[in-house]
Amino acid sequence: MKFSRGQIIQNSIAISLVVGVFVFLYATSAPRELYLTAGLIVAVLLLILLANRALTISLDRKLPWLTHGNKRFYSQLGIGVLVSLVIINISYFLFKITLTEDPPVGSQIATINALSILILLPIISINFGIQFLKRWKNAQLASEEFQKESIKAELNTLKNHLDPHFLFNNLNILSSLISKDQKQSQAYLEKFAEVYRIILQSNSEELVELKQELSFISAYMYLLEIRFEDTIQLSMAIDKKDEALYLPPLTLQMLIENAIKHNTISELRPLKIHVESQKGYISVKNNLQEKKVELPNSGQTGLENIKRRYSYFTSKQVEVIKNPNSFIVRVPLINISEI
């Protein structure tokens, strides 16, 4: 378990106070009962601290502060106080039956619980306030960083598609279709407009449903299939249940574009791209036929960008698998209720 700087300081202060208490008792030649009482108090406080820390870790996963603020506050306050009282009562009962001859009395138990609640409520509330402010600040910084990465990715994507060569190729294809097949040229124009509309809209969305991304890929692949004819072949195997999950916009498009950019394509050696969802992931796989001359500045920039964007939403990793005959990228599908 990693501790923050603040936690290290708090733990150091707590240890110093405990040591100080026992040094004081030793220096004043305190009776044995005081040592036992001090030891019990330290043990109880340590158990309460560990129990509440475990509770915090559990609720961080199930009820994050930023998405379940009120529910998290009252849940942790109630459970935290209840767990602390259980520890105090069990410790007091064990203390009474092992170190004294008198059994626990109802009035004593009631007094201990009342005092404990009066002490615990403000302490735990202040602790929650500090936790919330710290997590809110961290979330704000992460959100700003994510926005920068998203804008960078969207600008790169937009730049690629507004590239004069890309526009020229698509307009040239559209021009040739108009003279040959007006019906197909109309369909091509509609898909062309749809691709650009979705790209321009993506800058306002952090995540999109897989179903929406697949619809975009369908329009995008239509343009590529007209341009490359049978030299690019796309197949899909998508579980219907996965279509309601989310991913960063244009992720699949960037992976498909990456495959086209880095592989040789010909009638004899068509590029085969397979998109499949399975066990909370979606993969893009292509047969590997790398270009002999690598494009300048191509490298892993696109993949690194995708990895950084995913890191803001999930701890699951983007997986890159390169075999002699294939190249596979697996990206997690995000359940938005778990963010």
List, in order of start, the domains of the chain with CATH numbers: 31-160 (no CATH), 207-338 (3.30.565.10)
pLDDT band at 26 (very low <50, low <70, confident <90, very high): low
Confidence (pLDDT) at 17: 52
**Average pLDDT for 226-250:** 90
Distance of alpha carbon 26 from alpha carbon 240, whole angstroms: 70
Predicted confidence (pLDDT) at residue 314 exceeds the cutoff of 80:
yes
**pTM (global) more than 0.95:** no
Q: What is the mean pLDDT of the chain?
A: 77
The count of other CB atoms within 10 Å of the CB of residue 199 is 20
**Average pLDDT for 74-79:** 82
Q: Which of 185-194, 195-204, 303-312 has the lowest mean pLDDT?
A: 195-204
The count of other CB atoms within 10 Å of the CB of residue 44 is 18
Confidence (pLDDT) at 1: 47
Q: Which of 122-136, 146-160, 283-297 has the lowest mean pLDDT?
A: 146-160
Q: Which of 73-77, 87-91, 126-130, 234-238 has the lowest mean pLDDT?
A: 126-130
End-to-end CA distance of the chain: 22
Predicted confidence (pLDDT) at residue 162 exceeds the cutoff of 50:
no
Residue 30: what are its φ and ψ, rounded to 5°?
-65, 150
Predicted confidence (pLDDT) at residue 74 exceeds the cutoff of 70:
yes
Q: For a pLDDT cut of 90, what percent of the chain falls above it?
A: 17
The count of other CB atoms within 10 Å of the CB of residue 177 is 18
Confidence (pLDDT) at 40: 67
Exposed, middle or buried: residue 221 (CB in 10 Å: 0-12, 13-18, 19+)?
buried
Site of tokens 């009342």: 114
Confidence (pLDDT) at 228: 84
Structure tokens at 94: 């064990």
Distance of alpha carbon 28 from alpha carbon 192, whole angstroms: 87
176 versus 232: which is more confidently predicted? 232
Distance of CA 145 to the CA centre of its chain: 14
User: Which residues, other chains included, contact 218 with Cβ-Cβ below 8 Å and sequence gap of 6+?
Assistant: none
200 versus 283: which is more confidently predicted? 283
**Average pLDDT for 79-107:** 78
Confidence (pLDDT) at 176: 76
Q: Which of 36-40, 52-56, 301-305 has the lowest mean pLDDT?
A: 36-40
Confidence (pLDDT) at 139: 66
| Cβ pair 249, 207 in contact under 8 A | yes
Query: Which runs of consecutive H residues, i.e. helices, occur in the chain?
Result: 5-27, 32-62, 69-99, 106-161, 164-180, 182-201, 210-228, 251-262, 301-311
Distance of alpha carbon 225 from alpha carbon 166, whole angstroms: 14
117 versus 31: which is more confidently predicted? 117
333 versus 181: which is more confidently predicted? 333
**Average pLDDT for 201-227:** 85
Predicted confidence (pLDDT) at residue 77 exceeds the cutoff of 60:
yes
66 versus 83: which is more confidently predicted? 83
**Average pLDDT for 153-158:** 56
Q: For a pLDDT cut of 70, what percent of the chain falls above it?
A: 69
pLDDT band at 180 (very low <50, low <70, confident <90, very high): confident
